Amino acid sequence: NAGVTQTPKFRILKIGQSMTLQCTQDMNHNYMYWYRQDPGMGLKLIYYSVGAGITDKGEVPNGYNVSRSTTEDFPLRLELAAPSQTSVYFCASSNLGARETQYFGPGTRLLVL
Amino acid sequence: GDSVTQMEGPVTLSEEACLTINCTYTATGYPSLFWYVQYPGEGLQLLLKATKADDKGSNKGFEATYRKETTSFHLEKGSVQVSDSAVYFCALNSGGYQKVTFGTGTKLQVIP
């Protein structure tokens, strides 16, 4: 049972480059989330999805885009990377929304130089 | 808006010591409250939760009671182990499927 998987584990980007962070869950959860975790801070919600084809912005969406073409996959796209996007990114999923348990992936550490 | 305040870390304890990590919150209505734990190099995982006032969540020897009168959800354990070393996050959801508000995390280090 893989749960939530994320790739890559670590990436270094140059300013202005683009990349996609991959997230896949095998629990058939409708709800999926992307968070970023900065040192000494709690997690901040970037985007979320309540089902295939439906996405919406969270607290800190600027500089990011998402898509949800299948129940399993929820990729996060960074366009024109900036140093402020240096962070650890976590994908999570939930069966019944944020009021219930969220299951997190292992994270992607991104460094923008 | 919603907010979660938890005690600053790091907290360093000797093995078998008692643990309390304080958490207080501000939210509308009757939020669900959570403690998540993050072991080194891993994602967060749910430790325990409580969905209504006076509920006690418990798991792996950890406990937390939902205190609406003091808006608190303190995490406690009677005897910590080295394997409990991790970062602990208090969190809440005040309704709706999209938003969990997290505290800043408290790092616990347990030394033999």
CA-CA distance, B53 to B67, in Å (whole number)?
6
- Give the model confidence (pLDDT) of A9-63 as tens digits: 999 999 999 999 999 999 999 999 999 999 878 899 999 999 999 999 998 999 9
Contact A99 B97 (CB under 8 A): yes
CA-CA distance, A79 to A19, in Å (whole number)?
7
Nearest Cα neighbor of A99 from B100, B57, B58 is: B100
CA-CA distance, B33 to B28, in Å (whole number)?
13
pLDDT of residue A97: 72
Q: Which residue of A has its CA nearest to B32?
A: A99
The predicted model gives B6-17 an average pLDDT of 93
Q: Would you call A101 an interface residue with chain B, using a CB distance cutoff of 8 Å?
A: yes
- Give the model confidence (pLDDT) of B44-54 as tens digits: 999 999 999 99
- Please tell me which of the candidates A50, A98, A104 has its beta carbon nearest to residue B43: A104
Contact A42 B102 (CB under 8 A): yes
Give the model's confidence band at B97: pLDDT under 50 very low, under 70 low, under 90 confident, else very high.
low
Q: Cα–Cα distances in Å, from B41 out to A88, A103, B62, B100? A: 11, 16, 22, 22
Contacts of residue A99 in chain B, CB cutoff 8 Å? 32, 51, 93, 95-97
- Give the model confidence (pLDDT) of A60-83 as tens digits: 999 999 999 999 999 999 989 999
Q: Which residue of A has its CA nearest to B5?
A: A42
Give the model's confidence band at B95: pLDDT under 50 very low, under 70 low, under 90 confident, else very high.
confident
Cis, bond preceding A8 (omega within 30 deg of 0)? yes
Residue B21, beta-bridge partner list: B75
Contacts of residue B46 in chain A, CB cutoff 8 Å? 101-103
**B2 has pLDDT over 90:** no
DSSP H or E stretch at residue B51: none
